Amino acid sequence: MPEIRVKIASSVGLHARPASVFVKAAAKHSGQVLIGRPGTEPVDARSMLSVLSLAIGHGEEVVLRTDGADADAALTELSRLLVTDLDA
């Protein structure tokens, strides 16, 4: 399962609007998409409640993992979202 580490750019972290944008994008991919802090159990990135429960703040590093036929494309798209201030 390919993975990438990125820092959250949104000024409010992965909360409310930024999380919604991210979750909707994750839901478009056919394979599994997971997100979590390094060294912790990741959660389903297609679940708004799961993503919000992480309470990830601005500047925190997360690990994003994907699998499936479009795993690399999913990593590219989703990591670009996370390094963009989605709350702007």
Q: What is the mean pLDDT of the chain?
A: 95
Mean pLDDT over 47-65 rounds to 97
pTM here? 0.93
Backbone torsions φ then ψ of 86, nearest 5 degrees: -75, -5
d(Cα 33, Cα 3) in Å, to the nearest integer? 10
Q: Is 58 a catalytic residue?
A: no
Asked whether the predicted pLDDT for residue 88 surpasses 80, the reply is no
Q: Which residues contact 8 (CB under 8 A, 6 or more apart)?
A: 14, 56, 57, 58, 59, 60, 61, 62, 82
* Sequence ranges of the domains in the chain: 3-82
Statement: 3-82 belongs to CATH 3.40.605.10: no
- With pLDDT > 70 as the criterion, what percentage of the chain qualifies? 99
Catalytic residue among 8, 13, 15, 82: 15
